[in-house]
Structure 1
Amino acid sequence: MSAAASLLAVFAHPDDEALRCGGALALYAARGAQVHLICLTRGEAGRNTDPTLGNVDLPTQREQELKDACLALGIHPPIFLGYHDSGRGDRLRRDDPLATINADLTAMERQILEVIEATHPQIMLTFDPHGMYGHPDHLIAHRVATAAYASSGFRQVRVQRLFYTVQSREEMLRLQSGRSLGVLEGLEPETYAVCDCTIAARIDIRAYAAQKRAALFSHRTQTGPLSTLGTLSDEQFAPLMESETFSLGGIRSSVPEYPMHDLFAGLNVEFRPAAPSERPA
């Protein structure tokens, strides 16, 4: 008997879900998978890059932005675990007891396992081992999601596949060119990107580019005129709307092809498109 297709993404901040896997989230939701998103924090340590918003309460604003992004992608509303953004560099919040860098990671893993038990995902997505650009919260999201995947093997709900969002060397160099994506400045692609043979799945998201773009720009505080993310050139931005790449973090069943073109390929799952009245709101 086939199970209902389900996917769970685990990221650190509002907007993490959009750039590297927003297209895949929209694609699988449209196909009829149940798509859920865990967000560790509300991005408290970020900056508002859109002056037209005025003096906003940043965590409240970013929470709403993520809800809007999930609506644009057609996925369920976000699940916040309630930790605080740790910041990075000279803004690292070492003294905040709720910052993820100070959290009990085993307790965080248990929270993720509770969501796994509730949502029955066959597929999990999270950051690669370098957290795209080394943000401490990204590294923790990677660690606890990977740990929860491993622990699920002893539980009633065993996640079948864990994928990491990754960028190829070519993709990273493109984002470092011109007015570069600021968080990547000075980073070595040989460390923060992956070689082509590490890419386990390349997903065509062109049919969902409009939804991905809408989700990304729902994060107004992060894509405003003072940001580098929101002001990338068309040459830099266009490839991000064509395909998304993933490496394999764990697997409990064989795959019919490698690299894959469908994260669910070969799994005995049923996609059940929702009626308009049943879609996530």
Structure 2
Amino acid sequence: MATVVFVHAHPDDESSQTAGSMARAVAEGHRVVLVVATNGDHGDAPDDLAEGETVVDRRRTEMAGSVSVIGTHRVVWLGYADSGMTGWAQNDHEESFFRADLEEAAARVAEVLREESADVVVGYDWHGGYGHPDHVKVHAVTKRAAELAGRPRYLEVSMNRDAIRRAFEALRASGADPGWDADDPMDDGNPIGTPEAELHWACDVSEWIDVKRAALEAHASQSDARELLSMPEPLFAAAFGVEYYLEPGRPAGMQHAWFLEEEGVVAESA
């Protein structure tokens, strides 16, 4: 069995991006560890905050619900401040993840990798999927942490831009308007995700789609989570039943397979 460490930027990113893979790994007997870079303090402040309760308190409580549903074995909070979107004043906050020293942050993640004797570590693609400064920083930090730890196999979660484009074309053919295009510039000016030709793994997590939805429901205070949950269940299943990964150094070509089932992958990283 393998130990897989997933590194995410904010509380709730695990639910929308890799909850299916995390739940599948847990179900198959692997150890799953989650590292959360920021405390999510610039997320939505719900109207029902109790006296003395902060947004950070609520998001930690919600994360506890999410990982309980998924079955995650350990959560590590790095505790950096949420950096906000590109160009926001929060980018320059002295405690923001965006401003964090790369080597220092990577060393903290590498320490977790060594503590866990991690076989696999999962970060984000080069532009964090959609250009959010904290997501871009997760890419740099996780990649460097894997180098420092010297052991784990390194993957990057992303979104399949071509699959999104095909889905939007189908919606438009049915008379619906998704309101944006897969090739529109995102937060950093680049289109969302990664072209299909550059991806390496398309992992079927449809059996765990209810877990993914329940993990999102745990983050009910956040409008992004509520927006995804507003999708009809069949559409949600079609959109989130496959999770996509890059594996730098792997030969080109997307495999419709589970990255933990490839013969020898864990042994090779040992």
CA distance in 2, matches of 1:128, 1:268: 20
The one-letter code of the counterpart of 2:206 is: R
**How far off is 1:186 after superposition?**
4.4
CA distance in 2, matches of 1:138, 1:9: 13
- Equivalent in 161, 167, 179 of residue 160 of structure 2: 167
CA distance in 2, matches of 1:58, 1:181: 30
- Equivalent in 115, 124, 135 of residue 127 of structure 1: 124
Instruction: After TM superposition, list the pairs within 5 Å mapping 1:184-223 onto structure 2.
Output: 186-187=184-185, 191-223=191-223
**How far off is 1:167 after superposition?**
2.6
**SS at 2:255 equivalent:** coil
- Structure 1 residues 98, 168: CA separation in 2 closer, same or farther (over 3 Å shift)? same
**How far off is 1:180 after superposition?**
5.1
Kept in 1: contact 2:204–2:256 (CA 8 A):
no
**How far off is 1:185 after superposition?**
9.8
Kept in 1: contact 2:206–2:237 (CA 8 A):
no
**How far off is 1:96 after superposition?**
2.0
- Deviation string, structure 1 residues 213-235 (Cα, Å, up to 9, x no partner): 1111111111489x533323446
**How far off is 1:238 after superposition?**
2.3
- Structure 1 residues 203, 94: CA separation in 2 closer, same or farther (over 3 Å shift)? closer
- Structure 1 residues 82, 159: CA separation in 2 closer, same or farther (over 3 Å shift)? same
- Structure 1 residues 6, 224: CA separation in 2 closer, same or farther (over 3 Å shift)? closer
**How far off is 1:135 after superposition?**
0.5
Consecutive unaligned residues in structure 2, runs of 5 or more: none
Q: Greater shift after overlay, 133-142 or 53-62?
A: 53-62
Kept in 2: contact 1:161–1:250 (CA 8 A):
no
Q: Does 1:17 align with 2:14?
A: yes
CA distance in 1, matches of 2:216, 2:179: 14
- Structure 1 residues 147, 172: CA separation in 2 closer, same or farther (over 3 Å shift)? farther
Which of structures 1 and 2 has the larger relative contact order (alpha carbons within 8 angstroms, sep 6+)? 1
**How far off is 1:51 after superposition?**
4.2
The one-letter code of the counterpart of 1:165 is: S
Kept in 2: contact 1:172–1:193 (CA 8 A):
no
**How far off is 1:7 after superposition?**
0.3
**How far off is 1:247 after superposition?**
1.5
CA distance in 1, matches of 2:4, 2:103: 22
CA distance in 2, matches of 1:187, 1:102: 24
Q: In structure 1, what is the equivalent of residue 57 of structure 2?
A: 60
Q: Percent identity?
A: 25
**How far off is 1:119 after superposition?**
0.9
- Deviation string, structure 1 residues 13-57 (Cα, Å, up to 9, x no partner): 011111121100000011011100000011111113x54557851
Instruction: After TM superposition, list the pairs within 5 Å mapping 1:218-237 onto structure 2.
Output: 218-223=218-223, 227-234=226-233, 236-237=235-236
**How far off is 1:68 after superposition?**
1.1
Kept in 1: contact 2:123–2:156 (CA 8 A):
yes
**SS at 2:143 equivalent:** helix
Q: In structure 2, what is the equivalent of residue 70 of structure 1?
A: 67
CA distance in 2, matches of 1:80, 1:249: 26
Kept in 2: contact 1:164–1:249 (CA 8 A):
no
Q: Does 1:83 align with 2:80?
A: yes
Number of equivalent positions: 257
- Structure 1 residues 109, 229: CA separation in 2 closer, same or farther (over 3 Å shift)? same
The one-letter code of the counterpart of 1:240 is: A
- Structure 1 residues 179, 218: CA separation in 2 closer, same or farther (over 3 Å shift)? farther
Q: In structure 2, what is the equivalent of residue 8 of structure 1?
A: 5
RMSD: 3.2
Q: TM-score, normalised by structure 1?
A: 0.79
Q: Does 1:261 align with 2:254?
A: no
Consecutive unaligned residues in structure 1, runs of 5 or more: 271-281
